[in-house]
A = this chain, B = another copy of it.
């Protein structure tokens, strides 16, 4: 049924190998025969069989995307579609196909990765997460398969190519932003401590608190699963403290939206009674009321740079390691306000 290289060859009166060279646009073929072969391809509606090509030259022109486990929660976070968009754009520019993992548990995903790699389905992989003690990462390192991590790996930073924000800096700056508005009681609501991003942002928060000479309080730091219904618990806890915080650093826009709702239910208004700053700057932060001041981490760029550097790595004859830092900046909206200190109030 399918038109093969042989059909083209016989129509153009050349050998199959010549057709192959025309496809590759080899400089060793005369323009004249190239033309003849091309019109034969046109006439027959020939398209190269990519599978056969892969087998022959041991390159797939395909990239594997490893999604985090617990797919259900993850996909709901607008982070993923956006990073996918960046990856997709880069893939298209470089004519790479994209393969997605589909497993839900860590073990399933690991098996899939092994399949992709050993089954020679992909030339390299992008890990769309970064977590402590990851067997996928270990496996890829051992086998010396090209891969890049979106986010900062927990260890071996120097030997792994990754694309990340300066989340420490982002956490520090967000906190400093609140400090500059006069806040002294600033709490931090973070996601899972299994995620390196949480750790980094929290450390930045710490640093800012210290630098400003504020007292660090354990009870001001709470953690909730990312995406949980608004971190209700966390907010209740914080608001029932004797020294209520006057400002919150929230690790994620979606979580911040939930925090906003909980505060609303408690009749605490933002930014009048309490200021809120969050991270990621996804569409939701604009649509929230009040619109959220959020740290833009340029998610698209994270994905785009990830695939660019993966392709560089695949094409390069020697093993290159690169760390790419995507810039961030605070986008001011309506959720933060200068505090009226009691002493200053007339």
B81 and A75 within 8 A (CB): yes
Task: Give CA–CA (A55, B121) in the complex, Å.
Answer: 13
A82-B75 CB under 8 A given contacts A99-B99, A102-B98:
yes
Binary interface encoding of chain A residues 86-129 relative to chain B, with 1 for a CB under 8 A from any of its CBs, else 0: 00110110001111101110001000001110111100000000
A326 proximal to B (CB < 8 A): no
Interface SS, A side: helix
Closest CB of chain B to A80's CB: distance in Å? 6
B102 and A121 within 8 A (CB): no
Q: How many copies does the complex hold?
A: 2
A190 proximal to B (CB < 8 A): no
Identify the closest chain B residue to A117 (Cβ): B47
Given A55-B55, A97-B102, A254-B287, 14 more contacts at CB 8 Å? A2-B120, A47-B118, A47-B119, A49-B120, A51-B55, A51-B60, A71-B89, A75-B82, A88-B102, A89-B104, A229-B286, A230-B287, A264-B289, A284-B284
A88 and B76 within 8 A (CB): no
A78 proximal to B (CB < 8 A): yes
Looking at the complex, which one of B47, B100, B115 makes contact with A98 (CB distance below 8 Å)?
B100
A window 246-273: CB within 8 A of B: 254, 257-258, 260-261, 264
B88 and A47 within 8 A (CB): no
A119-B230 CB under 8 A given contacts A71-B88, A82-B75, A89-B102:
no
A322 proximal to B (CB < 8 A): no
B48 and A119 within 8 A (CB): yes
A24 proximal to B (CB < 8 A): no
Task: Give CA–CA (A97, B254) in the complex, Å.
Answer: 30
A92 and B97 within 8 A (CB): no
Identify the closest chain B residue to A93 (Cβ): B102
Task: Give CA–CA (A270, B213) in the complex, Å.
Answer: 45
Closest CB of chain B to A149's CB: distance in Å? 20
Looking at the complex, which one of B48, B51, B78, B284 makes contact with A51 (CB distance below 8 Å)?
B51
B102 and A92 within 8 A (CB): yes
Task: Give CA–CA (A60, B260) in the complex, Å.
Answer: 48
Which residues from chain B contact A119 at a C-beta distance below 8 Å? 47-51
Task: Give CA–CA (A51, B2) in the complex, Å.
Answer: 18
- 5 A-B pairs with least C-beta separation: A47-B118, A50-B119, A92-B102, A75-B81, A88-B102
A131 proximal to B (CB < 8 A): no
A33 proximal to B (CB < 8 A): no
A85-B100 CB under 8 A given contacts A115-B50, A287-B261:
no
A54 proximal to B (CB < 8 A): yes
